[in-house]
Structure 1
Amino acid sequence: MSSSIPILELKHIHKRFPGVRALSDVSLRLFPGEVHALMGENGAGKSTLIKVLTGVYSIDEGMVEMSGNPVVIQSPLEAQAVGISTVYQEVNLCPNLTVAENIFIGREPRKFGKIVWKDINRQAEELLRDRLQLSIDVTQPLESYSVAVQQLIAIARALNISAHVLILDEPTSSLDQNEVQQLFQIMSQLRKDGLAILFVTHFLDQMYDISDRVTILRNGEWVGEFMAEHLTRLDLVLHMIGKDLNVLEELPHLEAADTKAVGQVLLKAEGLGRTGGIKPFDLFIRTGEVVGLAGLLGSGRTEMARLFFGADKSDSGKLILSGREGTIHSPREAIEQRIAFCSENRKTEGIIGDLTVRENIILALQAKQGIFRTISRRNQLELAEHYIRMLNINPPNPEHLVKNLSGGNQQKVLLARCLLTEPQLLILDEPTRGIDIGAKTEIQKLVLSLSRGGMSVLFISSEIEEVLRVSDRVAIMRDRHKVDELSGADLNQQQMMKAIAGG
């Protein structure tokens, strides 16, 4: 049973960066003996809030209290000193050290100035056995154990630093279903021991499986705190994306559906999946068709796209392209099969900022042709200028450094690079994220124009209205499953919201 007094409370927190309001009047209460979920879409402010909570960032306004007493947390060490420990999505331990060394690193028991290895190993074994019901050889290197066990060892280290509050940041992202259940059993036991657990996750089912209370953030603002058992799945989704089901308006397609001819099946996935990435799914895409992928962040949309492009390798099912069964093992093979992929991470997986617009546009085509068939400078300029005019890239200078362009124009440069390879399937992952409404509309119209010309498009977007505007059919993703597929009269916002929420 949880206490009526929060062990940790953040009150009216504000955090600003130059030109960005990251958190605005955000509050959070963590009670002992409760699992408290922190939910929100990309950019909601979850990561910033955790960094404020752990002393990575200072706060501009507001206050933090521990058991009713004001505290100032200015570093992760100070957070640990007051009883706040964090286990991150990527296990930040030392794989070459033993399990026991990882648990006690920096805090080794010593006698006469020397580390007492016998005590380290004994205490590590007792901690894992008594608190986490885990019996393993603590003298073995950490890297010899699975990701799930490494996660538990990271939790053991956090608990050993006298934690009253345990923050678990996306702890299940790399775990299979059995490992998730093992982790939840541990969390349930820690809850009974009186620990306050902040559980950051994108998975709706997991949130309901383990959480007592939930706080929702959106665009850096506090939406509300709810008891999980009283919050319906649909209301949860509506709060996260900021919509009211009663006032949703149907947005018309940018063109009438009956004006576009859709051809034969170009690509078909049958039971395609990847362990730890996405559950096996079926999906087909016709020539000249725009298939949308809708779902919350972390639902498996990008994981599906990466399988189609060969950026990740499937370990189940098969792929049939133009009637021929096979597997795409790499992006190079995908490009040879005339599949192009425009990543959502345009700054890390897309543009090369110190190259010009021209150089960025011709990259994929040059890679496709190989180093012995160099594209002449004159031909490069002709191609670049053609796509600059076609996509209205501004400024219209092929020798302009791409890092100096706006986000919308950088996105157009990536589209130009993809289109130059003359793909039969174009995969667009969040192509309008972070760009202005005018550029968004231009890209949406371009997608429809390309499909009208016979190109197939797989279109991923977090914005439901945008998916509806451009898609002929929409596959719904939830918790790394393809859970539904909508078309025709069912292709509307209410049906999509209900499918995304599930339950």
Structure 2
Amino acid sequence: MSADVRVPLLSMRQITKRFGAVEALVGVDLDVHAHEVVALVGDNGAGKSTLAKVVSGVLAPDAGLVELDGQPVAFGSPAAAHQAGIATVFQDLALCENLDVTANLFLGRELRRGGVMDDGEMEQVAKRILRDLTSRIPSVRTPLAHLSAGQRQSVAIARTLIGSPRLVVLDEPTAALSVAQTAEVLMHIERLRHLGLGVILISHNLNDVLAVADRVEVLRHGRNNGSFEARRTSHEEILGAITGATRLDHPVHALR
């Protein structure tokens, strides 16, 4: 792989995180550029979700360097990470069943005019965001309780675009979805890349990963264990790195 001289949107170097005697992450490196989908894969307990929580400000690393646009950053909270342009969708989605699509998109970040919530403006912004994602949700006023699991995932992804983020982290966005629903979510991920965002996609589904990712990063026992250009790799190569059947001597070199 040729060297990429662009400054990464996100650069993580030698990230380490311990929980007591358990080393969840050990010297992990990761780069993500704008207009790029980077898939993070590995077996259960490999450290994927822990790394996502470090990126999103939920956890602080015990050691290592995090940079945005080449500048060192340290997030003390998810709010700080969000303010810096990082949005995350965890598996629980954190949506409210009793609210409609627009209200879920703006929950906690409602637009106001003269001290009063501007429902009209929020509705227009919601429509624009769903249109940008090419979402098939019938109406921004549809209650969440009336939506399918795939449509709810669409709402969660759409909510990340409130506040104009630069990096979106998606934790298992296609888990338990039907084939048709998965296809729609994968289309949303491609749209995020088209809109210029960097995307970290955490997934166990290698078919989904190879369908949308530009690069695949493998974690094993909290360590880097391979970096693959998606269009030039195979299921077998990635599975070998996940299971430990194969290992790059210097996996960091492919991380740019």
- TM-score, normalization by structure 2: 0.90
State the partner residue of 2:138: 136
Displacement of 1:237: 1.0
SS at match of 1:166: strand
Equivalent residue for 1:45, pick from 47, 54, 57: 47
Displacement of 1:184: 1.7
State the partner residue of 2:216: 214
Higher helix share: 1
> Aligned AA for 1:94?
C
Displacement of 1:25: 0.3
**Can you list the C-alpha shifts for 1:328-356, whole angstroms capped at 9, x where unaligned?**
xxxxxxxxxxxxxxxxxxxxxxxxxxxxx
Equivalent residue for 1:68, pick from 67, 70, 83: 70
> Aligned AA for 2:140?
V
**Could you say if the C-alpha distance between residues 215 and 244 of structure 1 is closer, same or farther in structure 2, counting changes exceeding 3 Å?**
closer
**Could you say if the C-alpha distance between residues 126 and 193 of structure 1 is closer, same or farther in structure 2, counting changes exceeding 3 Å?**
closer
Contact 1:125/1:135, CA 8 A, preserved across alignment: no
> Aligned AA for 1:164?
R
Displacement of 1:24: 0.5
Unaligned runs of 5+ in 2: 248-256
List, as ranges, runs of 4+ consecutive aligned residues in structure 1 with deviation greater than 4 Å: none
State the partner residue of 2:253: none
Aligned length: 244
**Can you list the C-alpha shifts for 1:251-304, whole angstroms capped at 9, x where unaligned?**
xxxxxxxxxxxxxxxxxxxxxxxxxxxxxxxxxxxxxxxxxxxxxxxxxxxxxx
State the partner residue of 1:455: none
State the partner residue of 2:250: none
State the partner residue of 1:156: 158
Q: Distance in 2 between matches of 1:153 and 1:31?
A: 24
Contact 2:186/2:208, CA 8 A, preserved across alignment: no
State the partner residue of 1:179: 181
> Aligned AA for 1:114?
V
Report the identity percentage.
Answer: 38
Contact 1:3/1:32, CA 8 A, preserved across alignment: no
State the partner residue of 1:364: none
Displacement of 1:3: 8.3
**Could you say if the C-alpha distance between residues 173 and 133 of structure 1 is closer, same or farther in structure 2, counting changes exceeding 3 Å?**
closer
The equivalences for 1:313-328 within 5 A come to none
**Could you say if the C-alpha distance between residues 97 and 223 of structure 1 is closer, same or farther in structure 2, counting changes exceeding 3 Å?**
same
**Can you list the C-alpha shifts for 1:360-416, whole angstroms capped at 9, x where unaligned?**
xxxxxxxxxxxxxxxxxxxxxxxxxxxxxxxxxxxxxxxxxxxxxxxxxxxxxxxxx
Greater gyration radius: 1
Q: Distance in 2 between matches of 1:157 and 1:63?
A: 28
The equivalences for 1:358-397 within 5 A come to none
Equivalent residue for 2:197, pick from 192, 195, 198: 195
State the partner residue of 1:20: 22
| Higher relative contact order structure (alpha carbons within 8 Å, sequence separation ≥ 6) | 2
Displacement of 1:52: 0.9
Q: Distance in 1 between matches of 2:34 and 2:140?
A: 30
- TM-score, normalization by structure 1: 0.47
RMSD: 1.7
Q: Distance in 2 between matches of 1:167 and 1:244?
A: 27
State the partner residue of 1:108: 110
State the partner residue of 2:229: 227
Displacement of 1:171: 0.5
**Can you list the C-alpha shifts for 1:155-190, whole angstroms capped at 9, x where unaligned?**
111011221111111000121111111122222222
Q: Distance in 2 between matches of 1:207 and 1:128?
A: 23
**Can you list the C-alpha shifts for 1:446-496, whole angstroms capped at 9, x where unaligned?**
xxxxxxxxxxxxxxxxxxxxxxxxxxxxxxxxxxxxxxxxxxxxxxxxxxx
